[in-house]
Structure 1
């Protein structure tokens, strides 16, 4: 009887249940883990789950964000049709009507205010094909110099530091596979255990193999707990701390003299500067005991191999570029670069933070990491695009500076693709006020984000499940994101949206692509001979090999696993060391009697960037439903802040309301707030507009604030 029942049940199940699988990649961090979405249909109901898929980078691992990524793609608030703002309300219109509006307004704006009155704001979440196409659209279809992207707020400090030091920036100079075999690792301003969880096993394996881990962070995090030594510095003092490490390494003779002589310029100047400093003043600036500084320096200096990794904690500062360069000074002084198990890694935040800047979204770059102000580079790209070099506009400005141009009414029209500057930028109220001044504002996105709400026209974009294309991950490994899930409603892919806009603007001939692969074929040619050379990479190879590390100049090339083995990328083949003065630290915003605490910002594991996607995932949103203030209990008691109480945090720019969270693992002079929330919990309402002079990175990590119970505010 039981067997008959089971047979009947299985037969019945087969009739009512079917299963489909869709290959894709995680839409979130730069690990770009490969995965499969499994769709099961039972009668009229469909259920979904995500599983990891083996690949060279994350080896089949997924973190909690990746496992639940599909939830936002199927969310009921997903944008599915073009929306036009009429009398303050969004109404559904057709694509033809939307494109007519774009043609009408873009044409009139440029006729009235000039070609550069239009600006394009891109994203490091776009595929390489779409990043390339957006840059081409801005410069050849709109002919505007104003294009930049949200990766400016993520990777610009590390990118500029590597370019200036090594002559080239690929994020990682080595592959992840080398990490387990290095002897000493410095993790500077990076919380990979929460931000790139599928990377942490590489560090854990290194520790199992005997590596010594040094973490530099004002907070104790899941990453610092893994470290053998935690240098808990005062926020914003990374330059001074590194000078202390360098001073000891040089004076204790842990330098590689032959490497310096043969392959480095600028060492003597750096040596002279750090020799003039005292460890006592460095201890006073950073709050890190001399004994700990000495221990870290000697440990890294004496080991035969070592690697340094940086992330936003070091980079998102007004001296972020020079701070990273100073850490690279350590690598060069000790000769730990360009050989096995030695090197540098800039831990990219966004999914395509690397590729998105390599191929033309950054204000000063053309495809292949070419410079827009270099005549030879301009001529080559113009030939690929079939235009005269003189038609190419010049260098624009950084993302935040574009907002300033909007506020000054120099830019009067804007197209934003998959970005949310209202939440991601510093001085957020200024950003809101500026965007409201635009004559015409178009946003392409998945959801009605805090920024999209201000737009005149919204275009529905496709998700990671639907949009095929290549991504360049944290290693510099180009991967192919398969994406065959059908688009919902009237959603279009980003590249299709760009092509449609170009068509109505009379540029159809140069934007007549029929697939992402066709765009990539042109990208290959555009990148050929550049520093970021993808010419030897094809979709066929990517499917077969699972990813290829650039540069890959021809089809017979296997990709470059380790950079700078024989020489650096400056014309003379040498790397450049540079003095990083301690004065850059004291030039930052300082505490005062009115604003006695230092605020630093960052991420939590369950959310990504401004939270537009992860806050639409029920499983992720439930883990962190609101923002919070992390504060030391001693500091909390001093300012009468109960645990789990609503508090108001204020800076010179404004105030926000969040809930307090006592933590004994943060410095007493420091508070922390994550940046994944908008509106009254948008921490960037507090942050200064001051930018790094080299890379134009805002100083998100150091803001002077005061904290008071909300009840006190209400009673006043």
Structure 2
């Protein structure tokens, strides 16, 4: 028997083949690179992902999502042909018929209701080339102003605050490689250990080097375990927390007066206004002790080098852009920016969240981060595109506001590429209603997502392993992801779909691209001289190096650290965010009916709405369903048992979800991940309150109630409240 097994194994090795596919993770903003090794023995394929040691951002690391990303590419549920819905059922149709049908439907809608009756909805995981082409497609082929994308829910608050303060928006002002040399780091509203785990070693090394790490989060997470000081503010009070820290920095003399005088505007008025706020009031609002506030401020203020990094916990609020601006104030007041080991950053979420907002799929932007409302910018782009400036549509509305226009009947048709708005938008029940109101819905996706299931026509797209293009990571580092495997014959790349549809819409001359590289060459020209200047970056250059923008010419090394000598405003100075106390004191609308606060977030094993990761068996095995994190004392008050299915309710809708006890969360706060759809989509309960500046919805704070599905009759007590009789 042993001889037989030995002979069989020898035969396997002889007949086996090994194929190495260099690739890049399609998920988070680190953009880790790897070799995917396909080992074929007879007809069986086995895969192993090996991290790329030369990656300057990940440093040769890879998380479980990247290691298993290939599984969704080979999933049997993948769409392989265009699907047309006939009598409620999807039927495969040829590409030519699909494109012709889409063009006729959209043209008919626009004939009766006007050009802006069609909307385009993109995504932050699309390549720079597709991002650029999608914006051009909306404005040239469809001639509509209505285009936005799911990155509105990711980076818009930080982008608005950074533009206001610095005159430019890039995820991090510095390379991550400077983090280990910081003396103090503030991580506000970010859980990098779960969301961007491959950059955690930078922070571990900083801690090993003696850095004092402060984490602000209402939950205990894997990231808070890194902290020397964990602040647990009440959800939605981040701006007030920043006010308190700045007040201490000023009162105790930790500000850099020379930097403030020579490189900033707006400090004097801000400092004067802060005198009206007492530390006791800050403590009362945030529920962070004065002692902890002072410790945090003193450690950051006294540090020779320091970083402040924010993420969705601070940003996904109706005052998100204001809150980020207040954390930027800490950086400016201490002069901790524009030099080695010092800076500010908003940790980008999506894989191309940075590039996705730079090149034209955002409602108010044109390629290169140009403004769609500035004549000079409009003229440059319209000349490049071969149209009159007056024919270039104006500013549209944000992603959620597009949903509202669908519900109101103003947008009649929608083209979705690289997104799942039925799950990612707040107020999910209303969002589903709005999508069903459309006269015609087209979705380009790899799978029948929750949104695609509602579509009239679904177009199959290539995967990250098959689709060549550039991505821009959280550092503003542009990378080239080459195609590792051929695209199946019946599937098209995103950019090919857009070019084909443009021809059927009569705009083929402007979309005569034969490769992703050809699109990037036009993108380079479109960005030349703009804020996000990619002109000095080429595919040839990216084939052997990565480059941080801005990069104005091919001899330029790229800009790894911003603001060494000046900021991007016309006068070269940064601007302090003014004090608007009413924005820091916005209420969460809790009441007797909805007495608890819900905050949402990510899990390490899943990504966005889970369309891809839920189709990776090894990832789904780790987290099969969403869990509602609830403190045991809170659960006892509502007669909820551990591992029990409960109904989570808000004024907008309900979610069925399983309770999971944890003491790592505040008693007044619940947490749920957003990677599932249908009845388990947590966004069925979130509110559509929008930041007035950037239109970011308030995902991180929703007033909710929670009850067990199985009726239980007893007297219950709400945490911190008086006893009352429960009504089932």
Alignment coverage as a number of residue pairs: 714
Deviations 1:504-523 (Å, cap 9, x if unpaired)? 11111111111101111111
Of the structure 1 ranges 45-54 and 130-139, higher mean CA displacement relative to structure 2 is found in 45-54
Q: Which residue of 2 aligns with 1:636?
A: 635
Alignment partners' CA distance in 1, 2:436 and 2:629: 33
With normalisation by structure 2, the TM-score equals 0.96
Q: Which residue of 1 aligns with 2:92?
A: 92
Alignment partners' CA distance in 1, 2:291 and 2:543: 51
Alignment partners' CA distance in 1, 2:489 and 2:228: 52
Q: Which residue of 1 aligns with 2:334?
A: 334
Alignment of 1:352-431 (within 5 A): 352-431=352-431
Q: Is it true that 1:127 corresponds to 2:98 in the alignment?
A: no
Contact 2:369 2:531 in 1 (8 A): yes
Q: Which residue of 1 aligns with 2:301?
A: 301
1:96/1:68 CA distance change after superposition, 3 Å: same
Contact 2:534 2:550 in 1 (8 A): yes
1:401/1:214 CA distance change after superposition, 3 Å: same
Q: Which residue of 2 aligns with 1:581?
A: 580
Alignment partners' CA distance in 2, 1:121 and 1:713: 44
Deviations 1:51-84 (Å, cap 9, x if unpaired)? 2112111012100111111111111101111001
Alignment partners' CA distance in 1, 2:679 and 2:414: 25
Alignment partners' CA distance in 2, 1:453 and 1:125: 21
Q: Which residue of 1 aligns with 2:709?
A: 710
DSSP 3-state at the match of 2:442: strand
Q: Is it true that 1:261 corresponds to 2:241 in the alignment?
A: no
Deviations 1:561-607 (Å, cap 9, x if unpaired)? 11011111011111111224332243343211111111100011111
Alignment partners' CA distance in 1, 2:232 and 2:357: 32
Q: Which residue of 2 aligns with 1:612?
A: 611
Q: Which residue of 2 aligns with 1:654?
A: 653
Contact 1:181 1:209 in 2 (8 A): yes
Alignment partners' CA distance in 2, 1:656 and 1:293: 36
Alignment of 1:549-698 (within 5 A): 549-698=548-697
Alignment partners' CA distance in 2, 1:446 and 1:509: 28
Contact 2:422 2:450 in 1 (8 A): yes
DSSP 3-state at the match of 2:393: coil
Alignment partners' CA distance in 1, 2:663 and 2:64: 26
Contact 1:323 1:580 in 2 (8 A): no
DSSP 3-state at the match of 2:656: strand
Alignment partners' CA distance in 2, 1:394 and 1:402: 15
Q: Gaps (5+ residues) in structure 2? A: 714-726
* Residue 107 of structure 1: how far off its partner (Å): 1.0
Contact 2:22 2:35 in 1 (8 A): yes
Deviations 1:624-674 (Å, cap 9, x if unpaired)? 111111111111111111111111111111111111111111011111111
* Residue 38 of structure 1: how far off its partner (Å): 1.1
Alignment partners' CA distance in 1, 2:171 and 2:43: 47
Contact 2:81 2:460 in 1 (8 A): yes
Contact 1:172 1:476 in 2 (8 A): yes
Contact 1:318 1:588 in 2 (8 A): no
Deviations 1:527-579 (Å, cap 9, x if unpaired)? 1000100011111111111x100001001001001101111101111111122
Q: Which residue of 2 aligns with 1:492?
A: 492
Contact 1:588 1:702 in 2 (8 A): no
Alignment partners' CA distance in 2, 1:515 and 1:456: 29
Alignment partners' CA distance in 2, 1:580 and 1:713: 48
Alignment partners' CA distance in 2, 1:256 and 1:392: 46
DSSP 3-state at the match of 2:543: helix
* Residue 713 of structure 1: how far off its partner (Å): 8.1
1:640/1:535 CA distance change after superposition, 3 Å: same
Q: Which residue of 1 aligns with 2:508?
A: 508
Deviations 1:653-706 (Å, cap 9, x if unpaired)? 111111111111101111111111111111111111110001000000010111
Contact 1:173 1:563 in 2 (8 A): yes
Contact 2:236 2:588 in 1 (8 A): no
Alignment of 1:169-188 (within 5 A): 169-188=169-188
Alignment partners' CA distance in 1, 2:42 and 2:683: 47
* Residue 267 of structure 1: how far off its partner (Å): 0.6
DSSP 3-state at the match of 1:622: helix
Q: Which residue of 1 aligns with 2:234?
A: 234
Deviations 1:360-381 (Å, cap 9, x if unpaired)? 0000000001000000001011
DSSP 3-state at the match of 1:172: coil
Alignment partners' CA distance in 1, 2:393 and 2:383: 15
DSSP 3-state at the match of 1:341: coil
Q: Which residue of 1 aligns with 2:721?
A: none
* Residue 503 of structure 1: how far off its partner (Å): 1.0
DSSP 3-state at the match of 1:453: helix
Contact 1:239 1:581 in 2 (8 A): no
Alignment partners' CA distance in 1, 2:526 and 2:202: 34
* Residue 488 of structure 1: how far off its partner (Å): 2.7
Alignment partners' CA distance in 1, 2:544 and 2:617: 36
1:615/1:580 CA distance change after superposition, 3 Å: farther
With normalisation by structure 1, the TM-score equals 0.98
Alignment partners' CA distance in 1, 2:142 and 2:157: 29
Of the structure 1 ranges 173-182 and 8-17, higher mean CA displacement relative to structure 2 is found in 8-17
DSSP 3-state at the match of 1:711: coil
Q: Which residue of 1 aligns with 2:64?
A: 64
Alignment partners' CA distance in 2, 1:179 and 1:519: 35
Q: Is it true that 1:274 corresponds to 2:274 in the alignment?
A: yes
* Residue 345 of structure 1: how far off its partner (Å): 1.2
Of the structure 1 ranges 421-430 and 14-23, higher mean CA displacement relative to structure 2 is found in 14-23
Alignment partners' CA distance in 2, 1:635 and 1:713: 16
Alignment of 1:540-555 (within 5 A): 540-545=540-545, 547-555=546-554
Contact 1:239 1:580 in 2 (8 A): no
Alignment partners' CA distance in 2, 1:585 and 1:711: 39
